[in-house]
Amino acid sequence: MALTDLKIRKAKQTDKAYRLSDGLGLSLLVRPSGTKSWQLRYQFMGREKILSIDQYPIILLSEARKRRDEAKKLLEDGFDPSVQKKLDNIDAHVKARMTFKEVADEYYVTLVDRGLADATLRKKRWHIEDLAKPLHKRPIDQINAAELLHLLKPIERSGRRETAKKLRATISAIFRLAMVTMRAPADPSAALKDALLPPKVKGRAAITDEKEFGQLLCRLDAYTGWPVIPAAMKFQILTCTRPGETRGARMSEFDLEARTWTIPPERMKMRREHKVPLSLQAFEIVMDNWSEIKGVDLLFPSLISNRKLISENAFNTVLRRLGYSGDEVTAHGFRVTASTILNSREHNPDVIEAILAHQDTNAIRRTYNRATYWDQRLEMMQIWADMCDEFKSLSTHRTSVRFRLRETIIIYL
């Protein structure tokens, strides 16, 4: 006998759960707690199954019958109503997290979980929070290529072509995450590759002339500011490392007996451990800056605190005070200096690349070439340190000759 609203309302709870049938598999389950829930019994692939619809009175009798009929239609079409309900729930959950900002935040969490460098994470956060802010509240499946181009073109016109390119790459990665989680049908940023102007390639500002580099080294020796900073800069030059790797150097990373410095993967650009052989000159800097203070691990600590890194701009600030502009030289450019001079003197380019911790651009060669060139690197690092001393010596000699010549002319006059 079919149910009525009156019969449903009058249904009382008992010590045991019971059902009131409405026909065609639809029934109302009355639990001891007093809750009343609609259920549908049906057969699928020879098995009896139960589909939970919803509670009464959230769903009234007329709506429950409508849901039953929809489930029956699915069965006729060969679909399991229980499976379809799960898919609908997933779809509803996904649609509740459909804005660009919500997907972007999920993407950022994956970057953190992958252990990307802090500098990379800061740049990605800047892309998401600041540059892509106009997209934050937009449903991600409604964003199109024209909208993205409207966002990127002003950045490009301001002269920041590289920023526009990298922002497009970040947006593309966010859309790919949206695609695999069924929140976007495609990546509209893919159509913009040829719509943006290529970045103007500008190499790191660096001094590659041996005489001029010798003059810089002499000026660095004569620097009268906080001594830890020029010491760290000289150490960076001698080890051919990046400024951040040198600033973060910790005493626990050094093997004094073996005269080596092992930089852990998390502090390397390519996320691979890098072992650096130390020349006599570099080792002397290590020993001069070695601290026996308990709890201090940084080799080149900040003036503010011996437990804090030297500031990110410290090296370049010293270079400016020495009279060099940003177009002439940067701290990162010291690696260019070493590479250029060593290559010009026809040293083994593979060894030079290993010293610089560069990854081979050829994927096949990178896979099969596991050579570390340790012995050659050890020899070349000492050669490079001796060359730096030679450059300084020649520069000092020329300065001395010019000074004596000037005195002679003055006396003669």
Question: Can you tell me the distance from the alpha carbon of 37 to that of 43, in angstroms, rounded to the nearest whole number?
Answer: 20
User: Out of 10, 12, 47, 368, which one is annotated catalytic?
Assistant: 368
108 is catalytic: no
Sign of the Cα torsion 165, 171, 176, 179 reads negative
The CA-based diameter of the chain, rounded to the nearest angstrom, is 130
22/171 Cα distance (integer angstroms): 53
Look at residues 354, 349, 353, 396 and name the one whose alpha carbon lies nearest to residue 372: 354
Determine which one of 335, 347, 377, 392 is catalytic: 335
Of 234, 243, 218, the C-alpha closest to 333 is: 243
Burial of 160 (0-12, 13-18, 19+ CB in 10 A): middle
| 66 a catalytic residue | no
Residue 194 dihedral angles phi and psi, to the nearest 5°? -90, -5
With H, G, I as helix, E, B as strand and everything else as coil, classify residue 355: helix
Identify the DSSP state of 127: I
332 is catalytic: yes
Check if 242 is active-site. yes
Could you tell me if 8 and 24 are in contact, meaning their C-beta atoms sit under 8 angstroms apart?
no
Asked if 150 is an active-site residue, the reply is: no
The 3-state DSSP class for residue 186 equals: coil
Q: Enumerate the H helices of 134-221 as residue ranges.
A: 145-157, 161-180, 210-221
Of 150, 211, 358, 397, which is the active-site residue?
Answer: 358
Contact, 256 vs 217, CB < 8 A? no
**Interatomic CA distance for residues 27 and 355, integer angstroms:** 76
Catalytic residue among 97, 136, 269, 275: 269
335 labelled catalytic: yes
Amino acid at 341: I
Catalytic residue among 124, 242, 247, 347: 242
Query: How buried is residue 370: exposed, middle or buried, by Cβ count under 10 Å (0-12/13-18/19+)?
Result: exposed
Q: In Å, what is the CA distance from 194 to each residue of 145, 166, 190, 232?
A: 12, 14, 9, 43
- The catalytic site residues sit at 242, 269, 332, 335, 358, 368
